[in-house]
Structure 1
Amino acid sequence: MPSVEVPGATLHYETFGNGPLLLLIPGADGRGSIFHNVAKFLAPHFTVTCWDRRGYSQSFLRGSQDFSNRLSTDADDAHLLIQRLSKDPAIVFGTSSGAVVAQRLLERHPESVKKLLAHEPPALSVLPEEFRTQGFGLIQHIYDTYRANGTAAAMDVFTSGLSEGGDGVVMRACMDGTQGDEIRANCMFWFEFELRQYTSAPVNLELLEKEKEKFVPVAGVESGDGPGVGPVAVIAQVLRKEVLRIPGGHVGFMTIPELFAEGLLKLLN
């Protein structure tokens, strides 16, 4: 299995196809394998790289960690992975909290990014104060539910506001600890170290403004104007951009991978 050594971790990744580098950054459960189906449809056009973010699945932690600064560490990992795999900047697609990582990557290492597609980042800090407070309260409630009643109950709360369709079912399955030790460990790791930090992290809109020609705000067609779209809509407004729509909802890359890949290719073209 291919891997790259970075400070404090060994990052596992897999590649599909040939062509310019397209790095896919996963959200909540951190596994690159959630992109495997869509990667097969993108492989004729790109070298598609799927990776396990540090601490998830086969990307193992090495030594002490700065969990208080984990978001920037994830962004640095993406930068180092791009440097390892390509002499040119990469096209980067990040979804959900992976889109938060992708935005931080563009802020910290713009030289590594040719184009960034930010798909429904839960960047609550950009919302107007009333909605920001409500969002932070919901996230704390989800975390408290996890600590009091376990991951399954917390995921029910987390997915309750998603669009209708298969999104909630798929997301709960991805975080269902009864499937095995790997999923259980990934799920608990996310609740403990990412759920609150990534959703509350500040977004440097001034830096994104400087790199706005690279920035593509994206949301699912089925997501409508739901809670997952609010933050990216605010960012798009600040950058004077339009939120572009792609087939499916929050996890369209899993529910309808072929249609999702076709939509992604249209955006990139």
Structure 2
Amino acid sequence: MSPVRTGLLRVPGAGLHYAICGSGPPLVILPGGGGDADCAGPLTETLAADFTVLTYDRRGQTRTTVDDPVAAPGIRQHAADVHGLLTGLGLTGAVVFGSSTGAVIGLDLVRQHPDLIRRFVAHEPPLPSLLDAEDRAAVHGVVGQAQRLHRTGGWQAVFRRMSQVLEVPLTDHTDRTAEVAWSPPTRRTSANLNFFLTNDFGATWEYQPDEQAWAALRESATVITPAVRACGTGRETLLTRSTLALAELLGTATVELPGGHDGYRTHPYSFAAALREVLAG
């Protein structure tokens, strides 16, 4: 196992908890939902054989400090924080893998700083503005219900409802083909999920670049690769449709990565092998 170095890096308004391991070109992993610096441990450890892997706790998560605990960060702030980490740690020419909310953050990072990111893999980003009216209405409904569901049934109730809308389990604890077992939520991970649902959930689904931003992404020097779950092209889900729409808008093709929406956590070894191939292509 590669040694892990942790620290707290000061950026405007916050101190970001981060972890670095491995050696080689820098690779940033941006997880979905309430995922933090430790949520993709097996994937991180596997990729550390070839990359200097950077993970972190987003602004508002438990090990990151904030000057204003009431302020909601938003996608652009999260993207600015990743930029602050990369420049503060002296990591240039990075490749970035982002999944779900992490993929949305990564898109805005590339939009703001294309000179800093060499390649970006966007795994199943939720982008309702690229979907048809029926899908947008379904998303709008669950986002509108989220606060009530969270208040009455906790984060579990919101994720159950999201699984129905997205047409695929977000966290399938019964997946017998998974390469690693699901760990039960801890106080820290539950706190991160609660923060996500209170602050970042709505911001993720409401993220809507304007035409100028999309044009900047199309013309960016960063190679952007949209990615779907391995069976995504066989059975389209809402997130598959979102990713395919992104690929069409950018004029590029999608790639398939193993496992479901959380494949980077449930199938980390096959996922790492497939991601290496994408990054080498």
TM-score w.r.t. length of structure 2: 0.86
Residue 116 (1) aligns with residue 116 (2): no
Given that 1:162 and 1:168 are in contact with CA atoms closer than 8 Å, whether structure 2 keeps it comes out as no
Percentage identity across aligned positions? Answer: 27
Given that 1:143 and 1:195 are in contact with CA atoms closer than 8 Å, whether structure 2 keeps it comes out as no
Quote the residue 1:4 is aligned against: 9
Given that 2:110 and 2:222 are in contact with CA atoms closer than 8 Å, whether structure 1 keeps it comes out as no
Q: Report 1:203-222 matches (<5 A).
A: 203=209, 204-211=213-220, 214-222=223-231
Indicate the structure with greater helix content: 1
Quote the residue 1:138 is aligned against: 142
Residue 53 (1) aligns with residue 58 (2): yes
Quote the residue 1:168 is aligned against: 172
Residue 181 (1) aligns with residue 187 (2): yes
Deviation digits for residues 55-78 of structure 1 (CA, Å, limit 9, x no counterpart): 1131121236642x5211100000
> Which amino acid is 1:219 matched to?
V
Residue 153 (1) aligns with residue 162 (2): no
User: CA shift at 1:143, angstroms?
Assistant: 3.4
Residue 76 (1) aligns with residue 86 (2): no
Which of 242, 252, 269 matches 1:241? Answer: 252
User: CA shift at 1:170, angstroms?
Assistant: 8.4
Residue 254 (1) aligns with residue 260 (2): no
> Which amino acid is 2:218 matched to?
E
Given that 1:28 and 1:96 are in contact with CA atoms closer than 8 Å, whether structure 2 keeps it comes out as yes
CA distance in structure 2 between the partners assigned to 1:84 and 1:16 by the alignment: 16
Q: Measured at CA, do residues 213 and 64 of structure 1 come closer, stay the same or move farther in structure 2, by a change above 3 Å?
A: closer
Deviation digits for residues 110-144 of structure 1 (CA, Å, limit 9, x no counterpart): 12111111010111122123322222212222333
Q: Report 1:19-58 matches (<5 A).
A: 19-58=24-63
Deviation digits for residues 3-47 of structure 1 (CA, Å, limit 9, x no counterpart): 210111111111121011000112111312112110111111110
Give the secondary-structure state (helix, strand or coil) at the position aligned to 2:27: strand
Q: Measured at CA, do residues 66 and 190 of structure 1 come closer, stay the same or move farther in structure 2, by a change above 3 Å?
A: same
Q: Measured at CA, do residues 138 and 212 of structure 1 come closer, stay the same or move farther in structure 2, by a change above 3 Å?
A: farther
Give the secondary-structure state (helix, strand or coil) at the position aligned to 1:34: coil
Deviation digits for residues 181-210 of structure 1 (CA, Å, limit 9, x no counterpart): 322321211111111111111033212111
Quote the residue 1:190 is aligned against: 196
Quote the residue 1:107 is aligned against: 111
CA distance in structure 2 between the partners assigned to 1:53 and 1:154 by the alignment: 20
* Structure 2 unpaired stretches of 5+: 1-5, 176-181
Given that 2:115 and 2:222 are in contact with CA atoms closer than 8 Å, whether structure 1 keeps it comes out as no
Given that 1:25 and 1:98 are in contact with CA atoms closer than 8 Å, whether structure 2 keeps it comes out as yes
Aligned length: 263
Q: CA RMSD in A?
A: 2.2
